[in-house]
Copies of this chain bind each other. A is one copy, B any other.
Amino acid sequence: MHKIIEDLNWRYATKQFDVSKKISSSDIEIIKESLRLTASSYGLQPNHFLIVENVSLREQLVPASYGQKQVLDASHLIVICAYNDLTDKHVDEYVENIISTRESNPDQVKNYGNFMKKTFSEMSSEDKLIWASKQAYIALGQLLHTCATLRIDSTPMEGFIPERYSEILSLKDKHLTPILVCPIGYRHKEDSTQHLAKVRKDQIDLFDTIK
């Protein structure tokens, strides 16, 4: 079996973390860099990542996560946020980044920026947030894969109360909406779910190959 498949089979939604085990700072750096390198539509990166280590905040986040204690017990808690709104300022910053990183033709890149601005100007605020939220899920897919490769456990979560997270983490001031929560760390040896067989559809129910 290829190592990728071994890694992904090793992964499971961890129910109980070992509080005593902490992710090394070098692995955290790999995880951050992996998130930074995540693809996004247009390359705009309309997401922001909180890495919450503070215990008192994480205690408050447990009831905001329907009592899921992984939020407190894991080594680190990652909260993937989306920009509340996509503004011309975000596009301008991106355009500047392309020009300075690639020494590109400024007029050409600005035309690309104007195309993005036009696209977003035709979308409602709600649709822009949905679009930015979807990009957060790409980051989650990359995060889960990266963690599995590093043999770091994870629990991807949609099940939390965004309004409570916003209050506890002061996200309104930052113009961010929390989209996904992912505690990461190391499974507790008594977490019995690690021994359960993985439930997935068969390939025949998931794929159509059109020759």
A: residues with CB less than 8 A from B are 2, 4-5, 8-9, 11, 13, 30, 32-39, 41, 43, 45, 47-54, 57, 94, 97-98, 101-102, 130, 133-146, 149-150, 156, 158, 169, 174, 196-201, 203, 206-211
Contact = CB atoms under 8 A, between A and B. Distances in A.
Closest 8 CB pairs of A and B: A141-B141, A137-B137, A145-B145, A138-B141, A8-B37, A141-B142, A51-B209, A101-B199
B101 A203 contact: no
A84 to B, nearest CB: 15
A129 to B, nearest CB: 11
Nearest to A142: B141
Contacts of A57: 210
Contacts of A145: 141-142, 145-146
27 contacts: A2-B30, A4-B146, A5-B34, A8-B33, A8-B34, A11-B37, A13-B43, A32-B203, A36-B206, A39-B141, A48-B208, A49-B208, A51-B207, A54-B210, A57-B210, A97-B199, A98-B199, A102-B196, A130-B130, A134-B134, A137-B137, A137-B138, A137-B140, A138-B140, A139-B141, A140-B141, A149-B149
A207 B32 contact: yes
Contacts of A141: 38-39, 137-145
Nearest to A135: B137
Of the listed residues A54, A98, A137, the one surrounded by the most CB atoms of chain B closer than 10 A to its CB is A137
A206 B48 contact: yes
